[in-house]
Structure 1
Amino acid sequence: MTIHNAVTAFAGFMVLLSVALTYWVSPYWVWLTVFVGANLLQSSFTGFCPAAMIFAKMGLKPS
């Protein structure tokens, strides 16, 4: 698995988790979705992605 694949899988998982938590626990969990979306947007412009750095330290190979 490459870093790019891991980041997109992690982002997708976090969005789905946030939707489930928003539905079953509290509507305030929607802010997790907002955070994930904002992080994806800023990383597309700046190239800075904390999740990618963590996955690189875990030994995943670059794409």
Structure 2
Amino acid sequence: MTSWKLVRIIAGLLILLSLALGVAESPLFVSQYWLYFTAFIGVNLFQSGLTNWCLMENILRKIGVRGGC
């Protein structure tokens, strides 16, 4: 699996998890402050789309995941 595919999987998983923890109607609700984490992930995805640089992808490559789309 390539680093970029893993970045998408991790980002999607973290968004779903933070929504489950931050939306009051969720059975897993903890605090609505988790929605800031959702926004943080969205900002990072936006930034990586503009700059073509992603910290998570760099981390994955350093631990041995092969690069590519």
Bin for the TM-score computed over the shorter chain: over 0.9
Unaligned 5+ runs, structure 2 = 24-28
Tell me the amino acid that sits aligned with residue 33 of structure 1: T
Please state if 1:6 is matched with 2:6: yes
Unaligned 5+ runs, structure 1 = none
Highest Rg: 1 or 2? Answer: 2
Tell me the amino acid that sits aligned with residue 42 of structure 1: Q
SS at match of 2:33: helix
The structure in which a higher percent of residues are helix is: 1
Percentage of identical aligned residues: 41
RMSD: 0.7
SS at match of 1:27: coil
Please state if 1:20 is matched with 2:25: no
| Paired positions, count | 63
Q: CA deviation at 1:62?
A: 1.1
Please give the alpha-carbon distance, in whole angstroms, between the structure 1 residues aligned to 2:5 and 2:39: 21
Query: Which structure ranks higher in relative contact order (CA pairs < 8 Å, sequence separation ≥ 6)?
Result: 1
Tell me which stretches of 4 or more aligned residues in structure 1 moved more than 2 Å.
none
Which residue matches 1:32?
A: 37
- TM-score norm. by structure 2 comes to 0.87
- TM-score norm. by structure 1 comes to 0.94
